[in-house]
Amino acid sequence: MKTGIVGASGYAGGELLRLLSNHDDFEITYVSAGTSAGELITSVHPHLVSFEGQRFSATEIAEINKCDLVFLALPHGESASLVAQISQSVKIVDLGADFRLASSNSWLSFYGGAHAGQLQYGLPEIGSNKEAIGKSSRVANPGCYATAIILGCAPVVALGLIDSSDLVAVAASGTTGAGRSAKVGLIASEVVNNLTSYKFGGVHQHIPEIEENLELLAHSKLATTKLSFTPILAPMPRGILATITAKLVKPSNIEEIRRIYGSYYAKSEFVKLLPVGQMPQTSATIGSNFAIMQIVIDDHTERLVISIAIDNLGKGAAGQAIQNANLMCGFPEDRGLPSSGVR
């Protein structure tokens, strides 16, 4: 399939190029980047030696429409105008936020500007999403934090085992999650030997995305999802480690909860519950599309505690986008995705 990547000069775009270069069914025929158009791909992504001598193209609708499949890896707010012009014959996976939210009020509050609407949400492991993605031609890829937190909560939210109106999550992310644009707070002298919270106090844009999708999974349609979320910038390039806690609605034992998680994700290629005593590490997910987690019950507070790690550029972006594209095009969902990470 003729495959394009729009916004390929960013970190997620570079990861798409790396992964797609080893995909048997997606042939990269168009690689565009706005301000980097005309530059050598290897001048921006020096690790992509297989693209030596190739240059970024300008972003043009006519060229996009020559593709069978296109990945949009653009800053938030830039995909909507392009999607409106792309031919219906072209399958689209949008890695931006433009089409993730159902609520126009939430979009206005957390992003601002006009709400473009909603596409099929691309988190295959929850609810009936996998089947719906397979029937879709346009899919909204989830946010990185949203991926980790939703996967961590989904099994117990679906069975009504926790009070979803009292979710608390703290998650640390690598610097690539902030994009490639030059920012003083992201230079090495500021990041190394430092941890800092940001978008503090319930203002992070992934909150409504998480709440909306967990409410769709809720055991009771009357259930309300409320999340207190604190993101942290960690001194590492890539990876997310999220810790989520939730009040149990009735006394439970960890063996029962582990069976529930094991059953919920039994057919999921990329979500793994670790053996008892083994903790998730971000380094174990780098370069992969895996989400690995551990769960425990804090008996003192009667809260379930979930620890989950993903690669923010893998399962949190490019890897998941390819997983979605595989499903959309009728291929095995793991086609072209590494079976293990790098360390």
Residue 153 appears among annotated catalytic residues: no
* Helical ranges in the chain per DSSP H: 11-20, 41-44, 61-64, 79-83, 104-110, 129-134, 144-158, 188-191, 206-217, 254-264, 319-328
Match 């059953």 to its residue by tokens: 263
Place of tokens 């992070």: 204
Distances (CA, A) of 258 to 116, 182, 261, 296: 39, 43, 5, 9
Q: Where are the beta strands (DSSP E) in 188-331?
A: 196-197, 227-233, 240-248, 271-273, 291-298, 303-310
List 67, 144, 153, 329, catalytic entry: 144
Tokens of 257: 């909860």
Sign of torsion over alpha carbons 56, 60, 64, 65? negative
Q: Residue 160 class from Cβ within 10 Å (0-12 exposed, 13-18 middle, 19+ buried)?
A: middle
Which is it for the CA torsion 51, 56, 59, 61, positive or negative?
negative
Cα(280)–Cα(311) distance, rounded to whole angstroms?
12
Percent of the chain as helix, strand, coil, to the nearest 5:
30, 20, 45
Length of the chain: 343
Report the alpha-carbon distance of residue 185 to residue 103 in Å, rounded. 31
Render 154-174 in DSSP notation, one character per residue.
HHHHHTT-EEEEEEEEEEEE-
Question: Among all residues, which ones are annotated catalytic?
Answer: 144
